[in-house]
Structure 1
Amino acid sequence: MSRPALLLVAVAISACAGSQQSARTSELLFATPEAELARQYAPDLYARAESAWVHSGDSQGRKDEQAADDYRTESRLWLAGAVAEAERVQLDRRRAELQSEEERWAKQLARDQEASAAVARDISRHEANAIALREAERLAALTESTTMSAATLDAVLTRVRLNLALAEALGATDEQLLPLRERVDVIARKRPNSARTAEALLRDSEILIGQMRADWPEPRPGASTALVETASVTGFAADRLGSAVLIRSERFFGSNGQVSTATVRRFIGLLRAFPHGPVACQVAVPELGSRVWARRVAQLVERFGRMGDPERVSTSMVATESLGAGTVQCTFAAYREP
């Protein structure tokens, strides 16, 4: 039985008791925890119960027992109503608290799910990028006449798609992106086994990124990391120094001493992808007075001179035993981390 019902029973019992017993019962009712809650949560009804109780005392003082009993009954009824109202208010408040708690947890869950989805996207992107880097390195070692595996082709296509997404984020237009995307679709559908077609697509996607970067007054933070990564993909050893990025390759000259067209083409593509600042190249030779190596380096300089910005690259010879003869290392001075 609820507390309001108990109070109503008390009303009926008290109506049959004597006035002295009724007074004591009323005093006990106002001193209960339920009455205290009624005073807090239903003050209007509680005030009416108190007022009726005061009137009952006044009537008792005038020896008007009938009026006193009526006021006591009224007081108990108002108090019972106040207790019921207090319970309702408490239930409503608790319900509102629970609803607010549910909404808070729902929002937290949504945030957690969104964060988890973002982490999953980052993991997927990094995994795809790592696969592309690992597999595309195989392409860098291929010559124009060498076939490539299906796995290498898939890796190159993945890398190109990542490059196009980056170019779009950097501001490339649909007009710039559409031709490359169409080439991706054609190669993915026809799946040629010649490395040259896939290599050209990879290089052109890097060049598009370079066109977007060319609008920057200087390399942005993280550009040196991107340079190292891209150089590795295109077949160059790369090290990030404190003040620059160093690119190195032993493939600029073939076994017959001729300049490798494929390597020069990849290097020029790298220059276009990272268009800021001068690049200083050194060719390791057995001795500075070697006429053979002087002619070979002159041929390399002539090839570099065919690029759109020939003055950007300076080339010199260095006699060293730490690098194999014909090894070329180039310093990208503008790509330094703050």
Structure 2
Amino acid sequence: MTWRAVLILWCVAGLACAAQQTPGTFDSFFASPAADLAREHAPDLYEQARTAWTAAEGAQRHKDGAAADDQRTEARLWLTAAVAEAERVQLDRRRAELQREEERWAKQLARDQQASAVVARDISRYEARAVALDEAERLSALSERPTLNDATLDAILTRVRLNLALAEALGASDEQLQPLRERAEVTARRRPHSAKAAEALLWKTEALIGQMRAQWPEPRPGASIELVETALATGFAADRMGSGVLIRSERFFTSNGNVSNATVKRFHGLLAAFPHGPVACQVAVPELPGRVWAHRVARLVERLRRMDDPGRVSTGMVVTRSLSAGAVQCTFAAYRGL
């Protein structure tokens, strides 16, 4: 049904009272906040009301009271419809604004939750690295004490089994693996308190991994990720950089300036497990030249050369504020971009 038909029905229903309506003026009829909203948000219906009111005024001037009343009634109906339409438009706009606001807050909530997840992962990664560092320090310092407890022995055996599984995946033969497996089983059964025996078993598995990797002419794809993960698990900080994999530690020197046996052993194990290419190390020092730090770095160089390939690692000093004095960072250049 069209607006015109509706208006005709309303007009017929209102004819009885139309004659009793006070004509009023244009200003009194259209000068209201509701009419202003109708003019702004429902201009078509508002113009219909104006047209009907103009026709009513014309009929009034021609002394046609009945026609004037009909036109005024039609004008009121059009204006009522215009006001209702304006209110609907406003409600729709407000609803759309609320929906956009809700979507904005939902996106903000999602960003906050994502940021919280990132922070939680960073905290977990930091805590895991701290645990790994403590465990690595404990395992690497075995030779510095004559005995070990059951918890440390279990940790060593877990590392040994993981290393043997990795060596097998890298192509180690049963002849290479079986003696180490048997030693691990005997160690688990007898629960020896000798730290040196457990340490020797652990380093033999690390050496076997490096032996298998050394058969490749160059590191395989993904080797840089393995290097980073292994370094983190053994207590070093590690990152993949454009120049290679960067390994960092502030524990190469003890608090009294001596070379840390535990850290050097961990680093030797890392070198053995990842045998490709040269490794360039830099020791952060407070100033150059410095006799104290020169002696300390010389002792570190001497310790790092106690390996099968003493020329693989080069060590120098660098003055930098980005690292604390005594911190060492080493670049495994052969693992660049893998």
TM-score when normalising by structure 1: 0.55
Q: Is the 8 A contact 1:52 1:71 kept in 2?
A: yes
Between the aligned partners of 2:259 and 2:72, the Cα distance in structure 1 is 104
1:90 alignment partner in structure 2? 90
Q: Which of 226, 249, 252 matches 2:259?
A: 249
Q: CA separation of 1:73/1:264 partners in 2, compared to 1, >3 Å: closer, same or farther?
A: closer
Query: Contact 1:279–1:314 (CA<8 Å) still a contact in 2?
Result: yes
**Which residue of the partner structure matches residue 108 of structure 1?**
108
Q: What is the one-letter code of the residue matched to 1:39?
A: R
Q: Which residue of 1 aligns with 2:23?
A: 22
Counterpart residue number, 2:253: 237
Q: Is 1:228 the counterpart of 2:249 in the alignment?
A: yes
Against the structure 1 CA distance between its residues 221 and 54, is the aligned structure 2 distance closer, same or farther, given a 3 Å change threshold?
Answer: same
| 1:274-285 → structure 2 map (5 Å cutoff) | 276-277=278-279, 282-283=298-299
Residue 157 of structure 1 deviates from its aligned partner by 6.4
Structure 1 equivalent of residue 33 of structure 2: 33
Question: 2:48 aligned with 1:45, yes or no?
Answer: no
Corresponding residue number in structure 2 for 1:60: 60
Partner of 1:122: 122
- The 1-side partners of 2:171 and 2:119 are apart by 27
CA distance in 2, matches of 1:177, 1:54: 98
* C-alpha distance 220-134 of structure 1, shift in aligned 2 (>3 A): same
Contact persistence 2:41–2:85 (CA under 8 A): yes
2: distance between equivalents of 1:155 and 1:29? 94
Q: How does 1:1-338 map to 2 (within 5 A)?
A: 15-17=18-20, 21-24=22-25, 27-143=27-143, 146-150=147-151, 154=155, 192=188, 194-198=198-202, 211=219, 212-213=223-224, 220=241, 226-228=247-249, 232=251, 236-237=252-253, 249=259, 251=261, 266-271=266-271, 276-277=278-279, 282-283=298-299, 304=307, 306-307=308-309, 310-313=310-313
CA deviation after TM superposition for structure 1 residue 134, in Å: 2.0
Distance 1:125 1:156 in 2: 24
Instruction: State the secondary structure of the residue aligned to 1:226.
Output: strand
The 3-state SS of whatever aligns with 2:298 is: strand
Letter in 1 for 2:115: A
SS in 1 for 2:48: helix
Amino acid in structure 2 at the alignment position of 1:249: V
SS at match of 1:23: coil
Deviation at 1:71, TM superposition (A): 0.6
The one-letter amino acid paired with 1:17 is Q
1:101-124 C-alpha deviation (Å, 9 max, x unpaired): 111111111111111111101101
Distance 1:107 1:198 in 2: 50
Question: Contact 1:45–1:82 at 8 Å: present in 2 too?
Answer: yes
Structure 2 residues not aligned, in runs of 5+: 1-9, 174-180, 192-197, 228-239, 283-296, 316-325, 333-338
Alpha carbons 1:38, 1:82 under 8 Å: kept: yes
Distance 1:265 1:98, change over 3 A: closer
Distance apart, 1:154 and its partner CA: 4.8
Alignment check: 8 A CA contact 1:279 1:313 kept: yes
**Partner SS for 1:99:** helix
**In structure 2, what is the Cα distance between the partners aligned to 1:79 and 1:147?**
94
- Give the partner amino acid of 2:249: V
Q: Is contact 1:237-1:249 (8 Å) kept?
A: yes
TM-score (norm 2): 0.55
Q: In the superposition, relative to structure 1, how do residues 106 and 314 fare at CA in structure 2: closer, same or farther (>3 Å)? A: closer
From the superposition, tell whether residues 331 and 204 of structure 1 become closer, same or farther in structure 2 (CA, over 3 Å).
farther
Shift of 1:138: 1.7
Instruction: Note if contact 2:278-2:313 (Cα within 8 Å) is conserved in structure 1.
Output: no
Displacement, 1:196?
4.2
Q: Kindly tell me: are residues 333 and 31 of structure 1, through their superposed partners in 2, closer, same or farther at Cα, counting changes over 3 Å?
A: closer
Q: Gaps (5+ residues) in structure 1?
A: 1-7, 164-171, 180-185, 240-246, 252-261, 285-296, 316-328
Identity of aligned residues (%): 42
Residues 266-294 of structure 1 show CA distances to partners (whole Å, capped at 9, x for unaligned) of: 5533445595445697349xxxxxxxxxx
Q: Structure 1 pair 332/86, CA: closer, same or farther in 2 (3 Å)?
A: closer
How many pairs does the alignment contain?
248
| CA distance 1:52–1:36, change in 2 (3 Å) | same
